[in-house]
Every structure is written in C-alpha cells, then in structure tokens.
Amino acid sequence: MSTCSVSKGCFVFKPSTKKRRLSEKTDHYFRSTSNDSEDTVLRFITCQSLWSQIKSETEQIQEDMNKQLLDNLVSFLSRSHSDFQEKTTEWTSRMKFREIPTAALVLGVNVTDHDLTFRGLSDVLQNNITPYVALLEAKDCPGIKNLMQKLMGQLMNCDIDVDSLEDEDCVQVSQNKIRCSMPSLISWYESVTKKTDSETPSEKRNSSSRHWQSPPVVVVFKDMESFTTKVLQDFIVISSQHIHELPLVLIFGIATSPMIIHRLLPHSVSSLLCIELFQSLSCKEHLSTIIDKLLLTSHFPFKLGEKVLQVLINIFLYHDFSVQNFIKGFQLCIVEHFYSQPLSVLCCHLVDIKKRVYSLSHDQCENIRRLPSFRRYVEKQESGKQIELLTNDSFLKEETEKLLEDLHVYHENYVSILRCLHVFTSSLPKYPLGKQIRELHCACLENQVWETNEYESSLQLARMLNKTDLVTMLQQCVEILVSSSGKEFDKTVKHLKEFLTQFQNLEASEASQEQDVSVSSQKELQKKTDLYHLQKTLLELKESRRSKKLTKFEMLRFEVVDYIDRLVRKYLVPAGDRTLHEIVYFNAATVLRGHLNAAPRTALHTALNNPHWYLKAFSTVVTAAEEPNGDAASSDQVDDIIHARFIRAVSELELLGFIKPSKQKTDHVARLTWGGC
C-alpha cells in the first residue's frame, strides 16, 4: 500500500491479527546486527539489568535529595490544615483577610526535572496529608474555565480512587454535568467530607489514620511562570472568596525566582496569598551526587571514558541543567557500549567474570587479541608468553580473567585515591584542578594528571598549606581510605596516620623547644646589657628560630605532599593506559554527541557547502548566456529540463527554509538565513 495520496496524510497499517507477532522481543534487534550471535542475548540481559540497577539507584538518589524539601512542605501543609481543622483564631483571622496559604516552590531552571519532583510530591501528599491533590500545567489551562474543568476533573478522579468503585458511575455523570464553578466544587467537597464522616467506623478509622477529618485541597501549579496572568489572578480572587468553605492550599512551582509572583500578580491579588518559600536543592548538587554515586563507585562495572563524560557534563552545563537528560545520556552510553562492543559481555560484576571468560568463543578471543590495549600488553611480554597469548585460547582466558580483575582493583583504588586528591585540591586557592570532583576525575581520566601544569601548581600550593588544614585533610584521607573497599590501603593508612602523629609530636616538641629557646634567650638577654651584643644575639636568635622551625614543619609537609604525589602516580593512571579498558570503558564520544547534541544546521550546511555544485548550477546560466545573442527569443527559451530543475531547486530551498516568497513582487523570493532580509 502506498503512502502517497493527494487526499490523505495519515495511513494506518494494521497487519492481520494472525500475522502479527506478539510484541517483538527487543533483544531480537540487539542480536540481528552483530555478527557473533552467541553472546548477544547475554549482553542484552547484562545491559538491561545494569540499566535497571542504575535507574533505581538514580531514583533513590532523587528521592533522598528531595526528602528534606518534601518534609518541609508536608509540615507546612499539615500546619495550614490544622488551623482549619481546629478553627483557631489564626484561621479566623486569616479567613477575615481571605488569605490562601501558599507554598512557593523554587525549583530552578531545569524544568524537565520538575516532573519527577512533582510526582514525588503528589505521592507524598496523597499518602500523608490529603487525597485531594490537583496538578495543573499551564498548557492545559488557557482560560479560567479550562482550569476549573481540569481541577475538578482531577479532584473527582482522585475521589474515585479513594472511594469504592461502585460510586464511579455517579461521579462520572456528575463530572460531565456539573458546571465547573467554585460553588459546585465546594458542594462536592462538602459531600465528600460528609461521606467520609458517615462511613462505617472501621473505614473511618482507616482513613483517618492517613488523612485528617477534612483534608485540605492542594492545587499545584507546576509551571507558574507559563500561566497567563489573568487566569492566575481570577483563580486566586475567586478561590479567596471561598476560602472559609474550602480549605485550599496552593503550591507554585517556580523555575526562576520568587520575585516572579509579584511580577505576575498585582498587589491586590498577591495580598490574598500567605506565601511561604521553599527551595529545592540545586541541580548542580544533584548532578554531583549522581556522578558520585554512579561513576565514582565500584558498584557498576560499566564506566564512562573521559571524552564521553565531558560531553555529558557539557550538555548539562551549557544546554539544559537537566539531570534527567544526563541520565538519559548515560543510558544511551550503556546501550551503545553493549551494542557496539562484542566484548562488553565481560563488562559484568566481578563474581561473574570467571564464568563468562571461560565460556568465550574463539571469535571472541580473537576480538580480545584485536583490542589495541591488549596488543600493547602483548608487545611488552617476553616472546614465549606472546606466542601463548596469541595462539592458546585457554591461556588467553586465564590471562584475561587476571587482567579484568586487575582492572577492577585498579578502579577501586582509583576512586579512593581520587577522593583523597580531591580533598587536597578542592581547598587550594583558585582551584587549579577544579572545584568539583568531576573535573578532577576528567583530568585524571584524560591523561597522566601528574604531567599537567595544573597538577604541578596544585602541588606547589599544597606545599604552602598551613598545619591545621593539612592535618584535617590527612584525617579526611584516612577516613576515605579506611572506608574504601580497596584492600591495598592498609599500609597507606598506616603511613598517613604516622604523618598525623608526627604532626602532633611536632606540635609538642615545637612548643617545648620554643619554651627552651625563649627561656634561654631571655636569660641571655638579661645577662648581656650592651647594645652591640644585644643586637647580635637577637639576630642570631631570629635566624636560628626561623630556620629551625621551618625545617621541621616544612620537612614534614614536603614529605606528606610527596607521599600524596607518589600515591597519585601509582593509582591515578589514566584508564586508557590500562589493558582491556575497552571492555569496561565507553569512549565513543562523537557518537554520543551526534545523537544527543546534534547540529542539523551544520549537517545541512556541509551538505550544501559545495562550491562545485554552484558552479554546476552556474554553468546552466552561462550556457544560456552563451547562446548567440542576436536572437533574443532563443536565449529566452530555456531548456525544459533546466527549467524544471530550477523549479525543483527553488521549491526545495523553500522546503529547507532558505527562501520564501517575498509577496512584494511577483516571482521574487526573500532569503531567510544567514543575513537575510
């Protein structure tokens, strides 16, 4: 069946039910492209399980991050609600002023992440405070009528959820018939609250354990800035008239700043609101936590290469501030890695490695031998081992297993030492290696960090740290290393602890020494009285004191910094230098960037940026002009094909958005791009 028609734009194709496959398995598509079919299923399963782990982890993080905010909100809501419940004086006074309790929720500019927050919010509210939560979005509410409709629809739906199903019909009917107005909303609210009152005691107890007697009605404006001012104003004014009948609470989701409320609403309206401000955690902190929990951990076998991580972070920082998009990019990385790298079957947890390595096929072994990092490794071995590695599959498998375990250990150590280094670099002035651990991580992944100038200057600065800072940093490092899962750090910890005690000893000895010196010098001073000698002794004293004191502390400081430097050189080797890193690290940054941060304009331009084509087009014109000029008629008579090609070219340019009819003159077009009219 063709999809070209002059009368229709949509074509539905429904295969007969018996031909229709019952939802094609996704792994089918995973399989069909790669040549080595035996591992694809396993690869796909690994990929999916890894992704689901990461997904649940990120959701957990999100929940934890929002917990504080939600707790505050809940307490605010229950407070405003309890007033209504007890009809206290505060409530009556508020009633007199017709103020609506309002929570202004400043969420930041990463609008795409807000959905998740709101979902969590409404869940929490429905579990703890009230079943009556309505989430409104600006795009659904172009007018006050739509807003009321949407509001009532949502409220009554949630009523259905609470009530038993038998009520559904009557509610359904009422929803269609009721005129959407405030009085009808109030009457609905009264009937609902009364119903819960008259319910059987058991049920009542059940519900009251969760919700209060007459729970507030929470209306959430998800994107307050996008609402039209009039709709908001009308709604607030109307509902403030009814606040004594309907315990309404508003929540404004704000992306920019709380000032927007006053800019959107005139004083007469904003004075009807009793606003309390809530601030969510910034998206940058959120991202840091995500990176911390997803990348700087040995829980997940899959790792991101430097360029890839840089691309993801750049998209985050320069495009959207959206953590969701970052996670989406991460998902794409996982999929791409498992899809394109046949050896990614080995990208699994340590416990599974042995089994998987030994079940590798010969082709896969060949794949391993083809890995650049493995080839480099082989070249370093002595010739006998080289031959073994290249010819003997089982020997290769043994070696591979060992190397993968090494890689795993390397990563564990890497993370711990990275954190230690970050403790140092994050407190240096001007942050030569970056303030965030992600910057440090990128720097270390990229190349040997100790070769860089930034590292050099960081060390210089670290050699000038004062003692208290140094001691606290060392203590932090000890904590990090003790809590890390790496097993090699016992010695390091011991060493660091030694440093700490030395610092303490230094303090004590210094103090005593100082006392000695000062006492003795004072004695001397008392003895000698002539000016010349006094001056001389003072100078000597100064000299000796400085050189002595500095040597002691500085020596130790140098030692500490050198020790850290040694640790860095030992453990923070860039991942690209490790053998078999291709199995675990995803490095195809260009692919990722092309898919996530594409540049359609550039693509179009490169395709059209061919001078030759213009010349070709030009030759058409030239040939027309080259015809004998005497006969004007023949030069006007253009070849049909050329004419047709010209027409198509013009319509294509129009389709691509380069030109449009200028409407001012027949047959004239205006240029639209790159400095058009």
Residues 219-238 that bind another protein (CB under 8 A): none
Residue 13 found at the interface with another protein (CB under 8 A): yes
Residue 213, phi then psi, degrees to nearest 5? -60, -60
Q: Which stretch binds another protein (CB under 8 A): 205-213, 268-276, 482-490, 627-635?
A: 627-635
Residue 140 found at the interface with another protein (CB under 8 A): yes
Site for another protein in 551-590 (CB under 8 A): 590
User: Of 139 and 262, which has the nearer Cβ to another protein?
Assistant: 139
Residue 391 found at the interface with another protein (CB under 8 A): no
- Give the one residue of 119, 139, 195, 376 binding another protein; rule: CB under 8 A: 139
Residue 526 found at the interface with another protein (CB under 8 A): no
Place of tokens 């579990």: 127
Q: CB of 602: closest distance to another protein in angstroms?
A: 5
- Give the one residue of 516, 577, 622, 631 binding another protein; rule: CB under 8 A: 622
Site for another protein in 80-119 (CB under 8 A): 111-112
Residue 4 found at the interface with another protein (CB under 8 A): yes
Report the C-alpha gap between 355 and 371 in whole angstroms.
21
Contact code string over 16-35 relative to another protein, x by CB under 8 A:
---xxxxxx-x--xx-xx--
Residue 128 found at the interface with another protein (CB under 8 A): no
CB of 431 closer than 8 Å to CB of 425: yes
User: Of 376 and 671, which has the nearer Cβ to another protein?
Assistant: 671
Q: Number of residues in contact with another protein, rule: CB under 8 A?
A: 101
Residue 655 found at the interface with another protein (CB under 8 A): yes
Q: CB of 615: closest distance to another protein in angstroms?
A: 6
Q: Spell out the residues 6+ positions from residue 196 whose beta carbon is closer than 8 angstroms to its own.
A: 204, 207, 213
Q: CB of 125: closest distance to another protein in angstroms?
A: 22
Which 3-state string (H, E, C) describes 59-118? HHHHHHHHHHHHHHHHHHHHHHHHHHHHCCHHHHHHHHHCCEEEEEEECCCCHHHHHHHH
Alpha carbon 309 to chain centroid, angstroms: 11
What is the bridge-based pairing of β-strands 303-304 and 585-586? parallel
Contact code string over 428-457 relative to another protein, x by CB under 8 A:
------------------------------
Residue 641 found at the interface with another protein (CB under 8 A): yes
Q: CB of 650: closest distance to another protein in angstroms?
A: 5
Report the C-alpha gap between 348 and 357 in whole angstroms.
11
Site for another protein in 296-325 (CB under 8 A): 320, 322, 324-325
Integer Rg of the chain from CA? 36
CA dihedral sign, ordered 86, 90, 92, 97:
negative
Contacts 24+ apart (CB under 8 A), 52-56: 53/300, 54/294, 54/300, 54/327, 54/330, 54/331, 54/334, 55/327, 55/331
Q: CB of 251: closest distance to another protein in angstroms?
A: 19
Token pair in block for residue 193 = 């609250």
User: Of 509 and 637, which has the nearer Cβ to another protein?
Assistant: 637
Amino acid in the structure at residue 77: L
Helix (H, G, I), strand (E, B) or coil at 166: helix
The DSSP letter of residue 140 is G
Q: Which stretch binds another protein (CB under 8 A): 256-264, 514-522, 565-573, 662-670?
A: 662-670
The dihedral over CA atoms of 288, 290, 295, 296, expressed in degrees to the nearest 10, equals 60
Site for another protein in 592-611 (CB under 8 A): 593-611
Residue 651 found at the interface with another protein (CB under 8 A): yes
Residue 646 found at the interface with another protein (CB under 8 A): yes
Q: Spell out the residues 6+ positions from residue 275 whose beta carbon is closer than 8 angstroms to its own.
A: 102, 103, 104, 258, 261
